[in-house]
Amino acid sequence: MGSPTLDAVNQALHDVEDPIFRKRLGELGTLLDARIENGRVWAKVRLSSPSEEARQTISRRIEAALEPLGVEFVELEIEVNVPTREATSTDPIPDVRNVVLVMSGKGGVGKSTVATNLALALRRLGTRVGLLDADIYGPSLPTMLGIEGQPTSKDGKRIQPLQRFGIKLMSIGFLLEDPKQAIVWRGPMLHGALQQFVTDVDWGGLDYLIIDSPPGTGDVALTLAQKLRITGAIIVTTPQEVALQDVYKSVSMCQKLNVPILGVVENMSHFVDSAGVKHELFGSGGGHKIAEFAEAPLFGQVPIDSLVREWGDQGTPIVQAAPASAAGQAFAAVADALAERIAKEHFERGGGETAPEGEGPKRLRILR
Ligand code: ADP
């Protein structure tokens, strides 16, 4: 077979369906470039989700579309442009594209663990991520990320967040000499601290700001919703029945504040023993029930694994320390699902491909 013309290649690529939007790249305008060089096809496409799933799907589809043309080598450059929430003229952090609250009905379900691992998994997909620890009852994120020290200010006005694993972190814990002191905080103090965290911290450009909210209340959602448009919330739960009542309250609170529930994560879902047998220690079905109640997808079920706690205590979350472990993969799947949900929500609200060209992550793939 002779080498294909650029026209034929372009046509085939235009007809490839986007993995998130179920529309053709040609319709979306997300085929950014295509060339034939020395018998190789080079193409550049834009995706709205950094998820591994989306990258693999688009790569497979492009390969399949070009194969009948006799194309032997394809180099694919994927530009990820994470969609952005609507920022009003008074938005204190307009360069933060998405603000995601991680909530739970009660403490101890692994909310902070989920927030940290989710943030890291999003970072590992190449996006720009910030993590705000607003859990006054137990600001544990500095420990989980192995961060010590105090944030500083270069100009005396804006606070520089601390960084680890490429994530920017601010924590209520940094403001307290004794983290236990936080327990006596009341609503107005949290309100004031949160205001400072969003207006005075130099977050810079971020694709996702993940906020670890205190359990059981909607205080963080309430304060933030007055200042800026929140992309949505993630509800963390465990499978057992008793935990559920509190979670329903969080869901209702979000609904009242018009904060969309993006998805639900069931943590400590089950335990797999050394023989590979799955045990549902805490019953089952909690995640599904909450997801149904919230009319949101179940993003994932994270198994109980003592490595999650051990690595968390050592300051390297499991997604970073052991990404291939079952729990590590479960957290990565949650990050994929969240990224896709945000892209889809944006698209369905009519945002389409209107976001500005991303300075976001680029990655080259050699397909054939
Ligand atoms: P919360 O923020 O809801 O209070 P944490 O994230 O602090 O909960 O988690 C509570 C404890 O449970 C921590 O010691 C953490 O390491 C542990 N943990 C969380 N998720 C898991 C899991 N999937 N497997 C094993 N231990 C976990």
Same domain, 114 and 213: yes
DSSP string, 235-271: EEE-SSGGGHHHHHHHHHHHHHTT--EEEEEEES--E
**Between 125 and 222, residue with greater pLDDT:** 125
pLDDT, average across residues 151-174: 90
pLDDT, average across residues 209-231: 89
Tell which one of 309, 310, 311 to mutate to probe ligand 1, the residue whose CB is within 8 A of the most ligand atoms: 309
Q: How far apart are CA 358 and CA 346, in angstroms?
A: 16
Query: Is the pTM of the predicted complex or chain greater than 0.85?
Result: yes
Residue 196 lies in a domain: yes
Q: How far apart are CA 15 and CA 27, in angstroms?
A: 9
pLDDT, average across residues 333-358: 77
Residue 94 lies in a domain: no
Same domain, 62 and 19: yes
The residue from 80, 109, 142 where one domain ends is: 80
| Local structure of residue 102 (DSSP, 8 states) | E
Same domain, 38 and 125: no
Residue 211 lies in a domain: yes
Same domain, 202 and 302: yes
Count the domains in the chain: 2
Residue 242 lies in a domain: yes
Q: What is the whole-number distance in angstroms between the Cα of residue 250 and the centre of ligand 1?
A: 19
Residue 85 lies in a domain: no
Same domain, 263 and 334: yes
Q: What is the whole-number distance in angstroms between the Cα of residue 175 and the centre of ligand 1?
A: 23
Same domain, 158 and 226: yes
Same domain, 291 and 229: yes
Residue 186 lies in a domain: yes
CB atoms near residue 10 (< 10 Å): 18
Q: What is the whole-number distance in angstroms between the Cα of residue 140 and the centre of ligand 1?
A: 10
pLDDT in tens, 3-55: 789 999 999 999 999 999 989 999 999 999 999 988 899 999 999 999 999 99
* 110 has a pLDDT exceeding 70: yes
Query: 129: domain range?
Result: 99-349
Q: How far apart are CA 3 and CA 228, in angstroms?
A: 53
Same domain, 66 and 119: no
Q: What is the CATH number of the domain that holds 19?
A: 3.30.300.130
pLDDT, average across residues 62-85: 94
Radius of gyration of the chain (CA): 22
Same domain, 200 and 259: yes
The residue from 80, 113, 140 where one domain ends is: 80
Same domain, 119 and 250: yes
Residue 360 lies in a domain: no
pLDDT at 205: 97
Residue 112 lies in a domain: yes
Same domain, 128 and 184: yes
The ligand 1 atom nearest the CA atom of 113:
6
CB distance 333 to 267 below 8 Å: no
Q: Residue 133 forms beta bridges with which residues?
A: 171, 212
Q: What is the CATH number of the domain that holds 332?
A: 3.40.50.300
Same domain, 27 and 139: no
pLDDT, average across residues 58-77: 94
Report the pocket of ligand 1 as residue ranges, CB < 6 Å: 104, 107-113, 138, 140, 267-268, 302, 304-305, 308-309, 312, 327
